[in-house]
Amino acid sequence: MGAIRGIVRDTREKALADVTLVIMAGPPHPDLGAVTDASGKFEFGSLQPGRYVIKAYGPVESDDLPVRVQAQQTAYVEIWLEAALPTPKEDFIDGSNYVGEENYFGEENYFGEEGSQ
């Protein structure tokens, strides 16, 4: 038997927790899934030797990832998922430069004239 072990990170190199991983294809096996821990790590154990395909489902979906499992060995996989787009407030440490849609033009209308349209 062998195993697949790995880590899931975003493109900013931040470990991603709670990402679901599924074996999509491979030698006969029970339906197996894994979820990354707080440090982005996951493991599939007790796998028959052969070629597997895994997929990660996090902020975005990964491509199909082929992995070869050999007897008495652990295959290591690093998965990189696109970083989720930050919310505007995350762009600034204190949010002081954040301009919400509702207050973008203040009291002026679109053409810059007070109170008229």
Amino acid at 21: L
36-89 pLDDT per residue, tens: 999 999 999 999 999 999 999 998 899 999 999 999 999 999 999 987 655 554
Domains and CATH numbers, the chain: 2-81 (2.60.40.1120)
- Asked if pLDDT for residue 111 goes beyond 50, the answer is no
Nearest to 22 by CA among 10, 7, 32: 32
- Asked if pLDDT for residue 115 goes beyond 80, the answer is no
Q: List all residues 6 or more positions away from 46 whose beta carbon is below 8 Å from its beta carbon.
A: 1, 3
Cα atoms in the Cβ-side hemisphere of radius 13 Å centred on 104: 5
pTM of the model: 0.68
pLDDT band at residue 108, thresholds of 50, 70 and 90?
A: very low
87-100 pLDDT per residue, tens: 554 444 444 444 44
